[in-house]
Structure 1
Amino acid sequence: MAGSEANETGKSKTVQLKWSLSTKLLLLTIAFIMLSEVLIFIPSAANFRNNWLKDKVAMAAVAAVGVTTFDQREPPRVLQDRLLAATGAHAIAVRSAGLRRLVAMDRMPSSVDISTDLREIGPLTSIMQTFETLFASDGRTLLAIGTPPEGGEALEVIMDETPLRADLIAFSINILQLSLIISFVTAALVYISLRALFLKPMEALTHAIVAFRDAPEDKASRVVPTNRTDEIGLMEQSFSDMQEQLSDTLHQQKRLADLGLAVSKINHDLRNILASAQLFSDRLSDLDDPLAKRIVPKIFHALDRAVNYTKSVMDYGKAQEAPPSRRRIHLRKVIDDIGETLALGDREDIDWYIACDDHVELDADPEQLFRAMLNLCRNAIQAMESDNRPEVIRRLSVYAMQADVGILIRICDTGPGVPEKAKEKLFQAFQGSVRQGGTGLGLAIASELIRAHDGTLRLVESDTGATFEIFIPMPEQEQVLAAK
């Protein structure tokens, strides 16, 4: 069912990509170029109409010069017919000194439908009259007024607008065809360029994102950044880095899941083994031996801690940690208990130094504080044991002091220190290990336990070895009293 749902989801997403970026880009490019052609066509058509009329008026002006040389009041009929046929006009007149002299006429129209003064026509008027001509019906009468021959005020030509409309429509069709060709050629060039520069890298990133979503652990879905230095190059590099980080996180989560599964499997058997060890310890307590009576309680305590630790490790694998049960405790006794657990008092290869007054108290969970400090001390011992040369001093020191608003604890060693690479992710599980083969769980657990006490755990810069500083604040009521 889950697989079918996933397939259905994938299909629906594929359907949503029907209008891809490539299709949208091509259509938008054609649309915008056509819009540009329309904006170019409008003034071009108006200019064509004006030039057509100016040519007709110019022809009539040249003819009028010859006709006006006759002394007769009216030119011969044959000459008028030739003039009107050449210009395509119904009537031609010259206006001078307020008088209109008729140059040629075949018939006088009853009315003039539209008048155009070519001497002072503006762009807006020209465009409006052009659209009127395009959408007008045939048979309209047009009066064109232009520059007359020398000595006149105006030359008036009355003509049928139908030939002008036919030529204007033919011009518009030619412009439309040319615009379509230019639009498709330009759109193709723009589309090919933008697809190569932007769309193909974006499609590759899209496919990589989908593949990474479906199989994040598959290395074949990784994006290999190109040498581009623009925004797409930055996107490729950022996505590649994100894939690496997510893959590392998923790998860590898998290790945590495997750890939790392994612990849950062995937890039952380990508890049985510890229970058997507790039974044997009970028998030792019956012995009338002072040494046994002194050691057996510590064995009991160690076994109880071991049982609790198995549960704690499982809880950590589940990313859960019990909230601290805070009590008023003596810090020196916790430190002494750590020394006995690690048998530091009996070791000759490591100096165990404690600088903590007996009266230092703090508000904390004794078991969790013990675990946090034990992890730090065990890490310090393991670091110092990596160099077993006899001339090397191995010393583990614990300093504790009362601060104004809390307790400050420092755990110092004379080991090789923390590598620079490990400092970046020092308190992250499986990443912050300071030694070869380590898991980094000790520091991660210690940091989590100290944070649960509202405290801080940090690495302090030191000349030799490593120094970890724990700060646990005192309760708010005590801070208020201390401030007073």
Structure 2
Amino acid sequence: MSRRDLSTEDRTGLPPDRLGSDRLGSDRPADRIELPSFGRGLSARVLALTVVFVMLSEVLIYAPSIARFRLDWLTEKLASGHLATLALEATPDYMIDPQLELTLLQHAGARLVALHTPDGKNLMLRGATAAQLVIDETIDLDDRGPVNLIASAFDTMSHTDNRLLRVMGHSPRSPDTLVEVVLDEGPLHEAMVAYSWRVLGLSIVISMITATLIFLALQLFIIRPMQRMTAEMVRFRGDPEMPLDEPLSKRRDEIGIAEREFELMRVEVRRALQQKERLAALGTAVNKINHDLRGILSTARLVADRLTGSGDPEVRKAVPGLEKALDRAVDLCSDILNFTREGPPRPELTRFPLDELCLEVQESLARHLSDGKAMATEMAEGFAIVADRGQLFRVIRNLGENALQMGANRVTVRALRRDGKIEIEVVDDGPGLPPKAVENLFRPFRGSARAGGTGLGLAIARELIRVQGGDLRLSESGIHGARFAIELPDRAS
């Protein structure tokens, strides 16, 4: 049997050409799978996200930056206004030529400047139109709260019309001197717009440089190793026997661990496939041997039945032991045949009374129920469940037969509903399971509780329960008996 046959039709019941579409969601063979292009791959997404995140960072930086630019611009106007008023102090009567006054105001970028010194002097530069000035907003630069500065900056950016501002604050050249400046907002708005464009251009350059550096780093340390691993996975899917082309990664980070684990997984999978191929050949041989052996045992059973009518009392005395030996041999063949199948059959769920099923199990165990041995049930009258009747029959019968063969005198089947589940217990009053059997329970050929057993019965029983969405476990084992618990979904409520 080839590996292809083993991994498809014999194992899943599906033809080989259906394996890809049913298991992987695609009917394309592995050698035709193409990795995504740059525009659709991880690289482009990383690059785009990096640019976006850098731009968002620049936006967060822009808000305090534009507020600081506005504050510095207005502070500079206060300093220029203070410097312009110094010309008044050079004259005896604090009066200067009107043309010079207009020139000083023009150089200061203001329409009016007022200076209040600590010694009580009040100096003022006013233009020809000072009487007609209408102030739209007063700004106190001594109030420098960050929230207030940011809000005022965006307020200035939002006004495209030219408002008249009255700016007041202490002079940066003389902290004890109060300066008031009346100026147009238009030049401030234009300066802030120009500054914003410069910030935008610089942000784009920074974001592109940062994104490129981050992209190259991620490409080198993460994306390329992931692309290489993806390509190796695709190749491995197409040819599991493909040899290792590259040595194991020496990186100590998560990517290195993932690469080494993937390489080790390929080795283990390849080894498992080789072992599975040998087991498949062995299973085929065992099935043929069991088939022939069952025929031989059937003939021996017929001979044993004839020996019961023998006139020799010694022969008749030996017949029961021979029949039991033949029954164990037949059971062993049946268990091996069931176990060598790739998996349990798909459950056929039906609704049925559990007590009737237990009665059938009791009838099938009639030859074990002698010398005072009994089987009983403890459950509500008419207790019905939805499960695979045949599979559940095999499980309860196996548990009951094992208990009776281990020396139990009474086997009780209990059932109840709890938290949306069906809980079935098979309890016996036997000597319990040996410690070695408990350690290897549900393990084929190792978990038998009696001499000559294979342990296949419990392994198959758990498999039959799990395929129905439940589980089988040993709840208790001691000198007072053993307790097995069967848990199934409650589909009947």
Same fold (TM over 0.5): yes
In structure 1, give the amino acid aligned to 2:127: M
Alignment: residue pair count? 378
> In the alignment, is the contact (CA less than 8 A) between 1:429 and 1:444 conserved in 2?
yes
Tell me the distance in 2 between the aligned counterparts of 1:150 and 1:17.
61
Bigger RCO (CA 8 Å, 6+ sep): 2
Evaluate the alpha carbon distance shift between residue 264 and residue 407 of structure 1 in structure 2; reply closer, same or farther with a 3 A threshold.
same
Query: Residue 52 in 1 paired to residue 73 in 2?
Result: yes
In structure 2, give the amino acid aligned to 1:9: S
TM-score under structure 1 normalisation?
0.57
Query: Residue 2 in 1 paired to residue 15 in 2?
Result: no
From 173, 188, 205, give the equivalent of 1:181: 205
Evaluate the alpha carbon distance shift between residue 89 and residue 300 of structure 1 in structure 2; reply closer, same or farther with a 3 A threshold.
closer
> In the alignment, is the contact (CA less than 8 A) between 2:85 and 2:125 conserved in 1?
yes
Evaluate the alpha carbon distance shift between residue 71 and residue 260 of structure 1 in structure 2; reply closer, same or farther with a 3 A threshold.
same
Tell me the distance in 2 between the aligned counterparts of 1:41 and 1:8.
48
Tell me the distance in 2 between the aligned counterparts of 1:366 and 1:429.
15
Tell me the distance in 2 between the aligned counterparts of 1:17 and 1:32.
20
Per-residue CA deviation, residues 393-423 of structure 1 (Å, 9 max, x unaligned), is xxxxxxxxxxx9644899xxxxxxxxxxxxx
Give matches, 1:30-69, under 5 Å.
Answer: 30-69=51-90
Evaluate the alpha carbon distance shift between residue 68 and residue 269 of structure 1 in structure 2; reply closer, same or farther with a 3 A threshold.
same
Query: Residue 107 in 1 paired to residue 129 in 2?
Result: yes
**Is the partner of 1:181 in helix, strand or coil?**
helix
1:340 is matched with none
State the 1:128 CA deviation.
Answer: 2.0
Tell me the distance in 1 between the aligned counterparts of 2:323 and 2:280.
31
Per-residue CA deviation, residues 155-213 of structure 1 (Å, 9 max, x unaligned), is 2222222222222211111111111111121122223223433344444455556666x
Tell me the distance in 2 between the aligned counterparts of 1:130 and 1:173.
15
2:114 is matched with 93
Tell me the distance in 2 between the aligned counterparts of 1:79 and 1:297.
137
Tell me the distance in 1 between the aligned counterparts of 2:34 and 2:248.
26
In structure 1, give the amino acid aligned to 2:59: V
State the 1:368 CA deviation.
Answer: 11
TM-score under structure 2 normalisation?
0.56
Alpha carbon RMSD of aligned pairs, Å? 5.5
Tell me the distance in 1 between the aligned counterparts of 2:183 and 2:27.
69
Per-residue CA deviation, residues 310-366 of structure 1 (Å, 9 max, x unaligned), is 444312313679x99482689xxxxxxxxxxxxxxxxxxxxxxxxxxxxxxxx9749
Per-residue CA deviation, residues 212-253 of structure 1 (Å, 9 max, x unaligned), is 6x5594456999753344444444555556666666666666
Identity, % of aligned positions: 30
Structure 2 unaligned residues grouped into runs of 5+ = 1-16, 346-360, 372-398, 407-427, 463-471, 485-493
> In the alignment, is the contact (CA less than 8 A) between 1:274 and 1:307 conserved in 2?
yes
Tell me the distance in 2 between the aligned counterparts of 1:448 and 1:73.
111
Evaluate the alpha carbon distance shift between residue 194 and residue 475 of structure 1 in structure 2; reply closer, same or farther with a 3 A threshold.
closer
State the 1:27 CA deviation.
Answer: 2.8
1:121 is matched with 144
Tell me the distance in 2 between the aligned counterparts of 1:294 and 1:287.
10
From 170, 183, 190, give the equivalent of 1:159: 183
2:340 is matched with 317
Query: Residue 142 in 1 paired to residue 162 in 2?
Result: no
In structure 2, give the amino acid aligned to 1:32: F
Query: Residue 196 in 1 paired to residue 212 in 2?
Result: no
Structure 1 unaligned residues grouped into runs of 5+ = 331-362, 371-403, 411-423, 433-440, 458-469, 477-484
10-19 or 175-184: which moved more? 10-19
